[in-house]
Structure 1
Amino acid sequence: MRTQLLLAALLGSVNAIRIIHANDDGWAELYTRSFHEALLAAGHDTVLSAPAENKSGTGSSDAEPSPRTTACQYNSCAPSNAPIGRNESSPRLNWVNSFPLTSMRYGIDVISPSFWNNEPAELAVSGPNVGSNLYAQVHFSGTVGSAVFASKERKIPAIAFSGLTGGTLAWNTTPVPTRSLVYAQVASKLVDAVVAAGKPYLPEDVFLNVNLPKVEGECTDASKYKFVLSRINLGVFSQKDVAQCGSDRLPMEAVVTGTKGCYVSVSVGDANDKTTASADKQKIVRDKLQGLFTCLP
């Protein structure tokens, strides 16, 4: 029995990887903390590096962190006159007193190396954002901005997650509401699918922009969620998309998340301009995750 348990543990950790995690709503936001816990539960070696406070809508802004002279959001850290800090009882939880992109940069370059014996992050994730990041919102999103930085500047495959059900919540909210748990479970499922598909997880200079529908009705059950390959921007003047579900034009993200049936939009984004990536890069992602995607009704 002991041998069987050991084998199960070893098999369960085969796909465990080093993940750097950021967001734009703040290091103590519940959606992010729930996702962090889900990644750890899945066996991943995850380090959180996020802003000391809510920095939504700051896009790709970047500035060296300044000394923190007031408490972090939700009183989650005391004034310290330090530019970065961490939860001493859970040192994988780190704050950076600057923008989301800066938090990702510091997480990759400064904070995570000590956890991983100077090995690099294998995957970067951001979010889930409290609220959507669809179409034009993408360009202003700090959640997206941090993921794009990881992909473009550090060549780390990256995924930005956003949940349409809004409402900020403190990290220590009890009981943890269904929406936070569901988003964490569904986001973790996609991460595991990307990892299971093998390296390279994504094409170079690509990020995934993922929007999860509202947690209501049947969508309070994580097992009901289905993933649909989508696009970020309008395709009126764009080249054809990868052929999918009988069409060479992928559905817009808002169409996917607005369709009844718990559909998650997964767009292959170009990290150079935050628009939809080319059909050849879409195809790579589609083929790697071919068992994951479904078609809209």
Structure 2
Amino acid sequence: MRSSILLGAVLPFAQAIRIIQSNDDGWAEANARTFFDALDSAGHDVVLSAPAENQSGTGSSDATPTQVGSSGCEFSSCPGGSPPTGANATDPRLNYVNSYPVTSIKNGIDVTGPKLWNGAKPELAVSGPNVGSNVGPGGLFSGTIGAATYAAHTAKIPAIAFSGRTGDPAAWNQPTPKYSKVYADLALNLTTTLIDSGAPYLPDDVFLNVNFGEVSDSTCHDASQFKFIFTRVNTGLLSARDTEWCGATRLPWEVDVIYLRGGCYVTVSAGDASDKSTTDAARQKVVLDKLKPLISCL
């Protein structure tokens, strides 16, 4: 078993890069902010550009941002009547966009990030960790995946969508839930491994769909207990064979691993950013070779 590396154990990074982050649960949600802090502590130049409010289930919708309504941003994180886009008063790296996840990450890639990076674009895009799993057919409707696939397919930036099975939407200014910390450690571990594999981080038009299993007080309560499993987005019953791994040419289905196995698992699927399905075997192999230090067999 290859156990995952805890946050403190991966510092310092071999290299620090520019990372744009978004989600669909909103810019003030605890999972996203905890991962932001982990990336920042690891030395990366990270900018968050996420919806002003919870936009779960909005897929790849995109619309011009509008003025914030009278109730303000989620968790009272901005007042009613705020501008269509805005930043935290003390940290300009934390940004809201009053629209969909795709619109939010697009604004981060084209406007906010370059403004803070002296005109440079992000080198990697991350979305999430989402509150709740995004596996199988449900991923088609996920705003978290929508943001990642926009980055990979349209903006041509390597992208990862992270989702966690445990938890409910929580505010950034409340005590950080245990699962948020575990998911941030796991997400940082995978991000580290991918970056350390060298650029280009992913093949063209490929994104990673990553799902974390349940976190509980009795089991799966520490990042070191989780195993990373290389999976596929859809079942593959009528698809061409996958890349060879663990003695087979058919990868496990991410739905089976997350919902039926019942263990401390993280699924990593190489997805086609053009249609959110499983990518082909050749590009799977490229991804697998990059992540082999992290990946285990079931």
TM-score, with length taken from structure 2: 0.93
| Partner SS state of residue 233, structure 2 | coil
| 1:136-151 aligned within 5 A | 136-151=137-152
State the distance in 2 between where 1:16 and 1:240 align.
36
How far does residue 114 in structure 1 lie from its aligned partner after superposition? 1.4
Question: For residue 282 of structure 1, what is the aligned residue in structure 2?
Answer: 284
Question: For residue 186 of structure 2, what is the aligned residue in structure 1?
Answer: 186
Q: What root-mean-square deviation, in Å, do the aligned CA atoms of Structure 1 and Structure 2 show?
A: 1.1
Letter in 2 for 1:108: I
Question: For residue 84 of structure 1, what is the aligned residue in structure 2?
Answer: 85
Q: Deviations over 1:254-284 (max 9, x none)?
A: 2222424311000000001100000000000
Alignment length (residue pairs): 285
The reply to whether residue 212 of structure 1 matches residue 218 of structure 2 is no
Question: For residue 59 of structure 1, what is the aligned residue in structure 2?
Answer: 59
| Partner SS state of residue 220, structure 1 | coil
Q: Deviations over 1:148-176 (max 9, x none)?
A: 000001100000000001311111112x1
How far does residue 81 in structure 1 lie from its aligned partner after superposition? 4.1
Identity of aligned residues (%): 54
The reply to whether residue 196 of structure 1 matches residue 182 of structure 2 is no
Alignment match of 2:270 (pick from 265, 268, 271): 268
| Partner SS state of residue 209, structure 1 | strand
How far does residue 177 in structure 1 lie from its aligned partner after superposition? 1.6
How far does residue 121 in structure 1 lie from its aligned partner after superposition? 0.3
State the distance in 2 between where 1:196 and 1:149 align.
24
Q: Deviations over 1:122-165 (max 9, x none)?
A: 00000000000010111000000000000001100000000001
How far does residue 181 in structure 1 lie from its aligned partner after superposition? 0.5
Question: For residue 93 of structure 1, what is the aligned residue in structure 2?
Answer: 94
State the distance in 2 between where 1:132 and 1:81 align.
31
Q: Which moved more, 1:214-223 or 1:126-135?
A: 214-223
Q: Deviations over 1:21-69 (max 9, x none)?
A: 0000000010111010011011111000000000000000000101113
How far does residue 13 in structure 1 lie from its aligned partner after superposition? 5.0
Letter in 2 for 1:142: G
Runs (4+) off by over 4 Å: none
Q: Deviations over 1:81-108 (max 9, x none)?
A: 4110010111111000000000000010
Question: For residue 125 of structure 2, what is the aligned residue in structure 1?
Answer: 124
Question: For residue 20 of structure 1, what is the aligned residue in structure 2?
Answer: 20
State the distance in 2 between where 1:129 and 1:37 align.
16
| Partner SS state of residue 93, structure 2 | strand
State the distance in 2 between where 1:50 and 1:191 align.
19
TM-score, with length taken from structure 1: 0.94
| Partner SS state of residue 210, structure 1 | strand
Question: For residue 112 of structure 1, what is the aligned residue in structure 2?
Answer: 113
State the distance in 2 between where 1:132 and 1:261 align.
15
Unaligned runs of 5+ in 1: 1-10
Instruction: Return the structure number with greater relative CO, CA threshold 8 A, min gap 6.
Output: 2
